[in-house]
Amino acid sequence: MDLKAIGRLVALTLLFASTACVPMPVTSAPHTSIPLVTATVPLPADLAPTDIPPSPTPEPPLAALVNDQPVYLADYERELGQYEASLLARGIDPSSPDGQANLAQARAWILNVMIEQVLTEQAAAAAGVVVSDAEVDADMQEMIAESGGEEPFLAKLAEWGETYEDAWQKERTQLIGMAMTQRIVDSVPTTAEHVHARHILVDTPQEAERILAQLQAGADFAALARTYSQDTSTRESGGDLGFFPRGILVAPEVDEAAFALQPGQFSGVVTSSLGYHIVQVIERDPARPVGPENLRFLHDRAVQEWIEGLWGQAVVQRFVETSP
């Protein structure tokens, strides 16, 4: 999996798609015989001017708080503005019904992405995963070169209301995300226990019970699958599901039933969202290499479960309305 190439594409896509003080008026003092300054007694120590605390700097408006870490409203609005500009570039008027529908979806999606980026950075810090400034600088130089040089690169940033520092921070975020994704992917074993199984899928429990009775009387499993199974993808092969590791099948109940059986055994009626199954195991292999397609699926699932875990443990407060 070329995560660096994926990250580069995402970074470029996001990158390019994406208080004055007024003096008070001065008036002359009114003519009076009363002295304007008469106090000669020193102020109490607790009222001395040097002890007056400075006014706190106002906190910039927030779009969200993620485990007490801020997501600033200005950053969120900039991302939303870049998305709106991308609609125009695709010929979609943001004020049209289609444009409004796109923006309504983007509001929640953009904020969720920003929250997820904060969660990822927090997880990276906790895991000791660090992206150095030199790594970010090197990637920035690559992006500058891919853009035709520094001048067009900076011009594009200005067009989207971003500074070089904004782009640098975005690239750092992308690299941290890639590093954490790689860490999760590397934790998925490339060798695992497999079973070679087949199944019969029917619509009703009554039909499944009739087929089960025939199997118990000695009928051939593959022949019954070719005759009765509603799974068109495996019916002609006698219900053969091939070898698979745990967690691959669409119906987890079938997966669980298969790994509970020994070669030659068949299950009772197994109920899933697809219907009613009978499962038979043909072979078991305790340490079989995971095929490329299955490995990609397991990688994706591991990353998704990790992200869901971050969300599940997070305390997130939202301060902008993102619902349609």
pLDDT tens across the length of the chain (324 residues) = 443 443 443 343 433 333 333 333 333 333 333 333 334 444 455 544 555 666 677 789 999 999 999 999 999 999 999 999 999 999 999 999 999 999 999 999 999 999 999 999 999 999 999 999 999 999 999 999 999 999 999 999 998 889 999 999 999 999 999 999 999 999 999 999 999 999 999 999 999 999 999 999 999 999 999 999 999 999 999 999 999 999 999 999 999 999 999 999 999 999 999 999 999 999 999 999 999 999 999 999 999 999 999 999 999 999 998 876
The number of beta carbons lying within 10 Å of the beta carbon of residue 52 is 8
Q: Is there a domain that residue 64 lies in?
A: yes
In the numeric block, which tokens belong to residue 30? Answer: 């009114």
- Separation of first and last alpha carbons in the chain: 36
What is the residue whose two structure tokens read 């971050």? 310
Output 246-253 pairs: Cβ under 8 A, ≥24 positions apart.
246/192, 246/193, 247/298, 247/301, 248/294, 248/297, 248/298, 250/274, 251/277, 253/277
Instruction: State the pLDDT at residue 34.
Output: 31
CA distance linking residue 246 with residue 286, whole number of Å: 11
What CATH number corresponds to the domain at position 282?
3.10.50.40
Q: Is there a domain that residue 47 lies in?
A: no
Q: Is there a domain that residue 257 lies in?
A: yes
Residue 201 buriedness (CB in 10 A; 0-12 / 13-18 / 19+)? buried
Same domain, 153 and 207: no
Among 91, 111, 128, the domain-final residue is 128
Q: Is there a domain that residue 264 lies in?
A: yes
Note whether 179 and 120 are within 8 A (CB): no
Q: How many residues belong to the chain?
A: 324
Same domain, 159 and 198: no
CA distance linking residue 36 with residue 150, whole number of Å: 62
Same domain, 93 and 135: no
pTM: 0.74
Structural domain for 197, as ranges: 193-286
